């Protein structure tokens, strides 16, 4: 479980930057079996090692976080790095949605 939490903590900043809701970037509470954690870790590690995730991290790191914030605050759009970040974010969001284990996120309410 610690390895899963550590990896998720390492990735959280970039996943949020990709537009993934913060409530999905957490481990649901409850009594989970060891196999559930193992499958979740394998899935998350595959995402971490995926070329598109690595590309997203690279693109985001082209500018410091304060610059990205300034672009938003000053309503600057259309710059090449913004276009690249938008494309990489869409790809990472699609990867996040693909076969994501239900252990991530909030508990479904009926």
Span 84-95, pLDDT tens digits: 999 999 999 999
Please report the pLDDT score of residue 30 as a whole number: 82
Taking CA atoms, 12 is separated from 33, 48, 80, in Å, by 23, 11, 24
pLDDT for residue 110: 44
Token pair of 106 as six digits: 């909030």
Residue 108 has pLDDT above 60, yes or no: no
Radius of gyration of the CA atoms of the chain, in A? 15
Distance, in Å, from the CA atom of 74 to the CA atom of 77, rounded to the nearest integer, reads 9
- Could you give the percent of the chain with pLDDT greater than 70? 96
Contacts of 54 (CB under 8 A, 6+ apart): none
Using one digit for the tens of pLDDT, what is the confidence trace for 6-26?
999 999 999 999 999 999 999
C-alpha span between 10 and 79 (Å, rounded): 27
């Amino acid at each position: 479980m610690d390895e899963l939490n550590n990896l998720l903590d390492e990735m959280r900043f970039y996943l949020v930057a990709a537009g993934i809701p913060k409530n999905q970037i957490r481990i649901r509470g409850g009594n989970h079996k060891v196999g559930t954690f193992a499958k979740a870790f394998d899935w998350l590690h595959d995402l971490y090692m995926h070329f598109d995730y690595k590309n997203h991290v690279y693109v985001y790191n082209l500018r410091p976080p304060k610059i990205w914030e300034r672009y938003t605050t000053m309503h600057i759009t259309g710059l090449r790095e913004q276009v690249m970040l938008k494309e990489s974010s869409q790809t990472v969001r699609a990867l996040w949605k693909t076969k994501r284990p239900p252990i991530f996120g909030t508990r479904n309410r009926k």
